[in-house]
Amino acid sequence: MRKKNGPFTLEPLELDPPSEGEVLVRIAACGICRADLSVRDQHYPTPLPVVLGHEGAGVVEGVGKGVKTVSVGDHVLMTFAFCGQCPSCALGVIATCWHHMEMNFSGKRYSGHDWSIPAPLFQYDANGGVREQINGAFFNQSAFATHAIATEANVVVIDKSADLQTLAPLGCGFQTGAGAIMNVLRPEVGASLLVTGAGSAGLAAVMAAKIIGCDPIIILDTVDSKLRLALDLGATHVINGSKTKDAVSAVKTICPHGVAYAIEGTGNPAVFRNTVDVLQPTGVCGLIGGAPQGTEVAFDMTHLLFGRTVKGILQGGSRPKSFLPKLTKLHQQGRFPIEKLIAHYEFSNIEAAVDALSTGHVIKPVLTMQ
């Protein structure tokens, strides 16, 4: 990604060998997530030019000094980076690492608490002379590439029989939605749930809620094809927000006193407000949708006073080394059928894949590198 708003271009780059604690991964596939597009559009301050991609999966080809739990030949899913030392990490809440932005979005590599080390990516000029530093280490991977440098901490070894091209997006989008339900909100069996936004995270939340036994599971979106898919995945009711004047009333025809749990996955402040407005007393709304930095939203204070909670949730509050193998098992059992949300694209068709995500034609495009 060389300039704001794109496009993505394929260019030959040089990658440094893995340093201490790092692993070299040959990428098999990488999902495309809205955060990639938010950086493309510079809603987050990641410097350009940069190699994006943060739902990578592949095979380990090399390990740096000191790497103990990952070996050459291992199949791995890559996920977000965390420092392991801040107060959040000390509590085990690693997705909300105090250094999440530096670790994942700075475009730099790190060592200890130094986040200013240039990424291991370079491009030579046409004469093979002066080299240009390219930003990378995006989520400690930059996996829109044939190879990537990750770290021992942000790769998860999975069974060699598992399908890397299907499981790649577990590392961000799918764990975000599933984890918000299973790790953070933890609704009781039979609890009512509203999910706004039928993207990969919202639909993963629906699948997780079905596994737990939430009822009703209501989903709101503006695209009928996504709502039909949601019904297939376990939603009990769907609401098309573009055909409803008052989404709050539409939810209340199903749950007259509001819902016990909600997941806001659109990143739209008006939808977020509605999602909180429709909570029952003591209800909890988990915010998983990203909005440009500086976006504000207003709530009715009296409404919140009645025990209602709004909780920001990053990456589903997940600890990927234990959570991703669980999701892999649920997928193998047919209970987390993410293949219904995925369309594969050759790496060279990255712009077509991005268009399919932007227009809503595809929930989760996955690039295949080999």
Instruction: Sort 147 into a burial class: Cβ within 10 Å, 0-12 / 13-18 / 19+.
Output: middle
In the complex, the smallest distance separating the C-beta of residue 364 from Zn ion, rounded to whole angstroms, is 11
Q: Which is nearer to Zn ion, 199 or 283 (CB)?
A: 199
In the complex, the smallest distance separating the C-beta of residue 114 from Zn ion, rounded to whole angstroms, is 14
Q: In this structure, are residues 88 and 98 in contact, taking their beta carbons and an 8 Å threshold?
A: yes
In the complex, the smallest distance separating the C-beta of residue 61 from Zn ion, rounded to whole angstroms, is 24
In the complex, the smallest distance separating the C-beta of residue 270 from Zn ion, rounded to whole angstroms, is 23
Q: In this structure, are residues 142 and 51 in contact, taking their beta carbons and an 8 Å threshold?
A: yes
Instruction: Give, as one character, the DSSP assignment of residue 153.
Output: G
In the complex, the smallest distance separating the C-beta of residue 252 from Zn ion, rounded to whole angstroms, is 32
Give the orientation angle of helix 224-233 with respect to helix 200-212, to 10 degrees.
30
Which positions lie near Zn ion, rule CB under 5 A? 33, 35, 82-83, 86, 89, 97, 172
Q: Which is nearer to Zn ion, 121 or 201 (CB)?
A: 201
Q: In this structure, are residues 341 and 328 in contact, taking their beta carbons and an 8 Å threshold?
A: no
Which three-class secondary structure state does DSSP give residue 179?
helix
What is the C-alpha separation between 219 and 262, in angstroms, rounded?
10
Q: Which is nearer to Zn ion, 148 or 278 (CB)?
A: 148
Q: Which is nearer to Zn ion, 35 or 158 (CB)?
A: 35
Q: Which residue(s) pair with 132 in the sheet?
A: 123
Task: Please provide the DSSP assignment of 18-52 as one string.
Answer: P-TTEEEEEEEEEE--HHHHHHHTTSS-PPSSB--
In the complex, the smallest distance separating the C-beta of residue 41 from Zn ion, rounded to whole angstroms, is 14
Q: In this structure, are residues 191 and 260 in contact, taking their beta carbons and an 8 Å threshold?
A: yes
Q: Which is nearer to Zn ion, 260 or 314 (CB)?
A: 314
Q: Which is nearer to Zn ion, 103 or 239 (CB)?
A: 103
In the complex, the smallest distance separating the C-beta of residue 209 from Zn ion, rounded to whole angstroms, is 21
Instruction: Give, as one character, the DSSP assignment of residue 118.
Output: P
Q: Which is nearer to Zn ion, 33 or 212 (CB)?
A: 33
Which three-class secondary structure state does DSSP give residue 183?
helix
Q: Which is nearer to Zn ion, 143 or 259 (CB)?
A: 143
Q: In this structure, are residues 58 and 164 in contact, taking their beta carbons and an 8 Å threshold?
A: yes
What is the C-alpha separation between 65 and 63, in angstroms, rounded?
7
Q: Which residue(s) pair with 342 in the sheet?
A: 364
In the complex, the smallest distance separating the C-beta of residue 137 from Zn ion, rounded to whole angstroms, is 15
Helical ranges in 41-94 per DSSP H:
87-91
